[in-house]
């Protein structure tokens, strides 16, 4: 039997949650004060996800801040970062523009978080 201690980040409470697992199966989740903590803990131990925040190159030599519009699989972030690094965008760009569509095959996009003028 394995126990994993995590801190829930879904709300400001920061609950210390203990997930008990056996043979990769979750047996129990304890320590969360709300239902969101249970969902977060189960996700965190089976398929942790993160929002990517980085920059993407512009054709004029500048860079533009971007982020994923949803959390993506943490294990695949190096792959996604390479895709972002290999991409160059031509201005103009508006906040929220999709710069790389469906980066992960799950419908998650890389979007602009700042405007860039031509």
Q: Which CATH number does the domain housing residue 94 bear?
A: 3.10.530.10
Closest to 52 (Cα-Cα) out of 81, 10, 82, 83: 81
118 in a structural domain: no
Residues 11-60 pLDDT 10s: 999 999 999 999 989 999 999 999 999 999 999 999 999 999 999 999 99
81 in a structural domain: yes
Query: Which uninterrupted H or E stretch holds 38?
Result: helix 35-46
Residues 47-104 pLDDT 10s: 999 999 999 999 999 999 999 999 999 999 999 999 999 999 999 999 999 999 999 9
Same domain, 59 and 11: no
Same domain, 63 and 31: no
Same domain, 57 and 105: yes
66 in a structural domain: yes
Where in the sequence is the domain holding 99, given as residue range(s)?
A: 53-112
Separation CA 8–CA 49 (nearest Å): 13
Same domain, 30 and 71: no
Q: Judging by beta carbons within 10 Å of its beta carbon (0-12, 13-18, 19+), is residue 33 exposed, middle or buried?
A: exposed
């Amino acid at each position: 039997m394995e126990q994993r201690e995590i801190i829930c980040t879904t709300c400001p409470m920061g609950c210390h949650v203990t997930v008990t697992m056996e043979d990769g199966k979750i047996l129990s989740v304890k320590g969360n004060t709300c239902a969101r903590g249970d969902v977060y803990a189960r996700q965190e131990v089976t398929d942790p996800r993160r929002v990517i925040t980085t920059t993407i190159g512009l054709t004029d030599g500048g860079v533009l801040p971007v982020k994923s519009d949803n959390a993506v699989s943490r294990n695949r972030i190096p792959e996604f970062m390479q895709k972002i690094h290999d991409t160059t965008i031509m201005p103009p760009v508006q906040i929220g523009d999709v710069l790389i569509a469906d980066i992960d095959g799950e419908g998650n996009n890389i979007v602009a978080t700042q405007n860039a003028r031509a």
